[in-house]
Structure 1
């Protein structure tokens, strides 16, 4: 980081610290969690709270804290900002290594935010590759590393269907020929769908249970359509790609930044985790986990948590009237990104439910997230409070982060979880103790 950016980051930390202390006085005492959360009344912040711990990484021998009955080990290390994971049928583990890249800052706040994000290792030069990791002796640690593909455009989501490998780059979905057991993609890629890049840049992918469609999460460019709705067209949405016709459409909209997606097997419903808007308070509105309906509209940018109007935004009453309330609140600004379905029996003591990688907040007076959590399900719906699976990613004084959870998936053995940590540059593996 250059001297000017380093100075700006330090000044921002001082000014931001003062704002944080002032806002902490009136901060809500509890987080907005669950199916019926208590969401405080919006308080426009003007200058948004800007608080992000310095990225430190893990000391030798230091690990996240696993829940009772579980243990954690490093499956793969020395990556470059690992974000998303895909397990192939032969047990190979693919990891997308990519990072947000800064747009030219337009305001002093933009410059301050970018300086702070660089200090937190959330902004920088993207590796733009996918690496393959193979645990050849079955001890839970990968011995073999290969470059599966490189020179992509902020790759994130991955999917394999019938000999074709799909990559969710920030500017679209690309398809490559794939042979079973291959350690590298060698053919030319075909671009099937175009997405607008920048802003919320991640493009997660999820294959339908019948293997005929792929769903892609595409986040908004801005916080609340700050640059108008024209540039947001096709964004803040989940897209559906028909693999036979190779035609794509918006499946659901009004989702500010839908990242992880998963199928709930009892009902067959698609679920996602969504990062909500900034600038209205520590818990307002909460990020959320929700089922997603075909054609459904979920409020952004006009309203949140159903039909609570955001009066900072020019309104569309017709859209507000049909905004769907999410199913389950995940706390304000937890940056819930990773999502996977975990069947009962995967980890001891855990029933059916969803596992969520909470990347952690940067914009509230007391930080939130920085955990891998579990939400139990019954009859196709969340059925109780969340539980921690991994914690300890954030120092107690909130000054530094050792790691930040992102993508999560079931391990090749069906009895473990793999989780990407983009500050620790590690893939963690969680198993029974």
Structure 2
């Protein structure tokens, strides 16, 4: 999008006014080094922490303090002074763990007394005292996940079925031949029963042990549990540089995916093959030999190093995504409103797209445990928190990574590229609840609270 000099000056002036207004309303408010982001109508937000090192996964402890994984550094403990709404100011920063292998995943037990985090190869636990901000001895819970390529191992502790830990392991590269083999453990989502583990229990082996929730997921970084039904959803980063019938289609295909893998209370809709590496999801239907396929259909891609030949008919047998998102937007997290009415998704942003795409947080309407939108919708994700000029990305904009919803419905957002934490919330309440709006990919209208 071309912006004239006068338009650029207007945006800069508006950003200055918004920044000054925020500082008046919230003394000590921080200012980003890039243009002030845009919030959906009825929402606002504040930059509450700067100077972190690649912040990724986040978790609030029982004292209301934020634990943040700094990729390649460890875990930091942030204590805020809460002025109500989105007015939070950092009061104290404490290094909780120094460990360079920790890179993304984090979680807490339901009682808040056990902390979990992950490396490329393992998931760990520590006894945690939130009041004293101290840790006990580290234990290894799951191991055997090391591979090249995608290195994050997302952790989810189930609230619906306490005692279960879910781990996501991605592929060893863009197209990973090993992911064809179910026994390899590559591109798997698995659950482990940790209810009766002790400090002396041997760790699970990811490949040999655990319950397969789904496989054939290239890199399902975001994993969330819908609170009313216990449904487990993932958001998946799909492949780059894809061709079909000799035609380069990577600019507009394949789509990123939201997948449903059932619940931990049942094996229904569970354990299926979600397509990767041979089958990917259609986003733009202007591709060779489209036939009757539509958005979200699984199609066969050109591959040169796979062990089997897969056709579109074979791909029809794979599990289709529940929703499909614009290619290269790189969804990294998904969190649900407490009443199940919304899913919030962070789109980290592109590196393999002709134009910048993503770099935003969006919300998706849910009802009865499922997205309201049809599976072939291209407008299910509604903009909530966006960069004012996406052409500046990725060098001069925020890149959302981790998300965390607090007990009042405020949403913490980490930006790994800029080393920041933002907090978002509705404008009309100091103790906001999640919105219940609907619509396509556009700026949302005023939510009903």
**TM-score, normalised with respect to structure 1:** 0.73
Q: Is the 8 A contact 1:63 1:72 kept in 2?
A: no
Measure, in 1, the Cα distance between the counterparts of 2:370 and 2:178.
36
For 1:219, the equivalent position in structure 2 comes to 170
Cα distance, 1:362 vs structure 2: 0.7
Measure, in 2, the Cα distance between the counterparts of 1:378 and 1:95.
31
Cα distance, 1:79 vs structure 2: 0.4
Measure, in 2, the Cα distance between the counterparts of 1:288 and 1:328.
6
For 2:233, the equivalent position in structure 1 comes to 271
Q: Is the 8 A contact 2:338 2:409 kept in 1?
A: no
Structure 1 residue matching 2:88: 3-state secondary structure: coil
Measure, in 1, the Cα distance between the counterparts of 2:299 and 2:421.
38
Q: Is the 8 A contact 1:130 1:155 kept in 2?
A: no
Q: Is the 8 A contact 1:224 1:277 kept in 2?
A: yes
Q: Is the 8 A contact 2:332 2:345 kept in 1?
A: yes
Structure 2 residue matching 1:255: 3-state secondary structure: coil
User: CA 1:192–1:394 in structure 2 vs 1: closer, same or farther (change >3 Å)?
Assistant: same
User: CA 1:245–1:309 in structure 2 vs 1: closer, same or farther (change >3 Å)?
Assistant: farther
CA deviation map 1:178-209 (0-9, x unaligned) = 22424232423334333114311111111112
Is 1:200 the counterpart of 2:169? The answer is no
User: CA 1:166–1:361 in structure 2 vs 1: closer, same or farther (change >3 Å)?
Assistant: same
Is 1:415 the counterpart of 2:415? The answer is no
Measure, in 2, the Cα distance between the counterparts of 1:399 and 1:137.
31
For 1:325, the equivalent position in structure 2 comes to 320
Task: Please give the residue correspondences for 1:395-410 in structure 2 after superposition, counting only pairs within 5 Å.
Answer: 395-396=390-391, 398=393, 400-410=395-405
Measure, in 2, the Cα distance between the counterparts of 1:144 and 1:211.
32
For 1:360, the equivalent position in structure 2 comes to 349
CA deviation map 1:39-72 (0-9, x unaligned) = xxxxxxxxxxxxxxxxxxx755843211111111
Q: Is the 8 A contact 1:251 1:294 kept in 2?
A: yes
**RMSD (Å) for aligned C-alpha atoms:** 2.6
Range that drifts further, 76-85 or 155-164? 155-164
For 2:51, the equivalent position in structure 1 comes to 78
Structure 1 unaligned spans of 5+ = 1-57, 99-125, 345-350
Counterpart selection for 2:253 from 284, 291, 300: 284
| Count of aligned pairs | 341
User: CA 1:204–1:165 in structure 2 vs 1: closer, same or farther (change >3 Å)?
Assistant: same
Measure, in 1, the Cα distance between the counterparts of 2:49 and 2:393.
26
Measure, in 1, the Cα distance between the counterparts of 2:425 and 2:394.
29
Measure, in 1, the Cα distance between the counterparts of 2:280 and 2:394.
31
Measure, in 2, the Cα distance between the counterparts of 1:180 and 1:319.
51
For 2:77, the equivalent position in structure 1 comes to 132
For 2:370, the equivalent position in structure 1 comes to 381
Measure, in 2, the Cα distance between the counterparts of 1:386 and 1:307.
20
CA deviation map 1:208-259 (0-9, x unaligned) = 1221101011110111116786799212111211103554423310000001
The structure with the larger Rg is 2
For 1:158, the equivalent position in structure 2 comes to 106
